[in-house]
Amino acid sequence: MSTDECTPMLEKAMSSIGFAQMLPSSPVYDLNGMKGATGLSESTIRKRMARLKELGLADYKRGKATIKREVVS
C-alpha cells in the first residue's frame, strides 16, 4: 500500500478518534448524547462510530456505543 493510499484512511481514523475525544467520559453513549456533545449530525456520528468499530476501538449498535477508555481520555 502506497503513502497516497494510506493518507485518506489515516485522515478518517484521525477524525474519528478526534470525535471520540470530544465526548465526555462515560461507560455507554447514546446517539442523542453524542450529538449534543459534539454538534455533529447523526449521519456523521454513525460514520465515525463505524470507523472506530473497524479499528477495534468501539462497539456501536442501535444508537448505543461503548468506546475504549484509552480513546476517550
| 72 inside domain | no
Asked if residue 19 lies in contact with residue 57, where contact means CB atoms within 8 angstroms, the answer is no
Percent of the chain at pLDDT > 70 equals 93
| 51 inside domain | yes
Domain around 10 = 3-67
Report the C-alpha gap between 3 and 68 in whole angstroms.
28
Query: pTM of the predicted model, to two decimals?
Result: 0.82
| 7 inside domain | yes
28-41 burial by CB neighbour count: b if 16+ within 10 A, else e?
A: ebebebbeeebebe
pLDDT score of 3:
67
CATH number of the domain to which 36 belongs: 1.10.10.10
Report the C-alpha gap between 24 and 6 in whole angstroms.
30
State the residue for C-alpha cell 468501539.
58
**Per-residue pLDDT reduced to its tens digit, 8-35:** 777 888 889 999 999 998 999 999 999 9
Average pLDDT estimate for 58-73: 88
Phi then psi for residue 39, to 5 deg, are 75, 10
| 52 inside domain | yes
pLDDT score of 43:
94
Task: Give the number of domains in the chain.
Answer: 1
| 73 inside domain | no
Residue 71 pLDDT level (bands cut at 50, 70, 90)? confident
| 36 inside domain | yes
